[in-house]
Structure formats: C-alpha cells, structure tokens
Amino acid sequence: MATRDLVIGFDADDTLWHNENIFEKTHERYRALLAQYHDAATVDRTLFATEMRNLDLYGYGVKGFTLSAIETAIELTAGKIRADEIRHLIALGQEMLAHPVELLDGVVETLSGLARAHRLLVITKGDLRDQERKLAKSGLVGHFERVEILSEKDAATYATVFRRHAIDPARFLMVGNSLKSDILPVLELGGAGAHVPYHLTWAAERVERAPQVEGRFFRLKTLRELPDVVSSLAGQ
C-alpha cells in the first residue's frame, strides 16, 4: 500500500472534540431536577429506555435527546413536573447546542501532519445542523477532503460512502471512540480500525468484546499515536 493510497476516516464527537461530557453534565442536572421523585439509577434507566424507544423516529442528536428528556420527566413525575421545569429542560438542550467546541488533546497536530500525505474524511452521525456547526467552530474543516454526516453508521452506510468516494476498503482506516459505530462495521467491510476510547461511552454505543482481527485493529490511548499506525499500514 503506497502512503498516498491510504484514506483515513475520522469520527467527530468524542474523537476530535469532547461531547459525551456535555451530555453527562446535563444528565447530572436532570437527575437533580427529578431527585425528589426517583433515585438516579431509575432516572437514568427510564431516560435511556425512552431514548431507545424514540431512536428510530428521532435519530441521534440533542433535539431528540431533549424531547425524550421532557417525555421521561412527565412520565416519572406522573405529570406533576411544572412548566417552568420543562422550560428549564428546553434551555439545557439549547445550551448543549450552543456549547463551545473543545478539541481533544493532539487533534490539531495529528491532523495537520496526516493531511499532508493522505485523504482525510470526517464520517459522523447525528443532527445535520449541529454537526455542521461543530465542524465550523472546530477550525478543522480545512484538513478534510469531505465531511459525511450520516443518520446511522453501519456496514451499509459505510459501504455507500466507500462507493461514493471510490474508496477501496482495504486501503481505508477508520479512527474513532466507538467500537460499535466506528470500528466493527469497517472491519466487517475489510477495512482497518483505530479505536481511541473516550473516558465516557454512551450506553447505546457499548459493546462487550474487542474485535479480534490481526493487523487491522489498533487500540490507541490518544490520537497522538495515530501517525505510527498510519506509517505501519501505509508501509504494507
């Protein structure tokens, strides 16, 4: 594989910038709001169940999360939640959308270096406008040949992206924090995956076991380790 031939895809939330920590802060405030009615575990479990029930209709992102949080709050308080408390939940959602983008350690240096020799793509899922806004705020757009915002990241949608950009999966490396969305579907299609865990993982993205794929799966502590993985793959 010649160096220039390797195409590298990057997840965005919790791979390029912090995201789950913003949700976690909101969850804390949500638990506090409902603490007089239910313990934290019940609140978390019920909200997650609502999110999963609504996922097909709402898709990923802050707006669907906010609607599910309001629905759950009404359910858990048997309708006793006050309008001003619901207004507070709407405001929390708006704060999340307006939150500054905080890049993860090493992102700028790593992308700057790799962009000189490789085609870099963003492949992310979620809300169209929210992801576009975060990319614009990130200052990273110039490093990427293309940005793909998908409603789901699975083998079918990766295959569509590969066709669209004439990418050979055997010459593709996906980098991200989610084994489920970033790594497993790409390995399934014959590509390589570099898993860079974030310290928080949303329950819907958790998988039980690490993939067992010799030579195509890499686990990194930070994005700073990525150039070495790329060199080893590019040299093959």
Residue 5 or 75 having the CB closest to its own copies: 75
Burial annotation 174-194 (CB, 10 A radius, 16+ → b, else e): bbbbbbbbbbbbbbbbebbbb
How many Cα atoms within 13 Å fall on the side-chain side of residue 63? 9
Task: Name the minimum Å distance from CB 36 to its own copies.
Answer: 15
Residue 97 or 213 having the CB closest to its own copies: 97
Residue 8 or 81 having the CB closest to its own copies: 81
Task: Name the minimum Å distance from CB 158 to its own copies.
Answer: 16
Contact 109, 140 (CB under 8 A): no
Residue 41 or 83 having the CB closest to its own copies: 83
Q: Which structure tokens are listed for 69?
A: 């949080």
Residue 74 or 203 having the CB closest to its own copies: 74
Residue 189 DSSP symbol:
T
Residue 127 or 182 having the CB closest to its own copies: 127
Task: Name the minimum Å distance from CB 57 to its own copies.
Answer: 5
What is d(CA 4, CA 6) in angstroms, rounded to the nearest whole number?
6
Q: Residue 149 in 3-state DSSP? A: strand
Task: Name the minimum Å distance from CB 132 to its own copies.
Answer: 5
Binding site for its own copies (CB under 8 A): 54, 57-59, 63-64, 66-67, 70-71, 74, 77, 79-84, 86-87, 90, 93-94, 97-98, 127-130, 132, 149-151
Task: Name the minimum Å distance from CB 104 to its own copies.
Answer: 24
- Residues in Cβ contact with 198 at an 8 Å cutoff, skipping those fewer than 6 apart: 14, 15, 20, 177
Beta-carbon neighbour count of residue 134 at 10 Å? 22
Task: Name the minimum Å distance from CB 16 to its own copies.
Answer: 19
Burial annotation 157-167 (CB, 10 A radius, 16+ → b, else e): bbeebbeeeeb
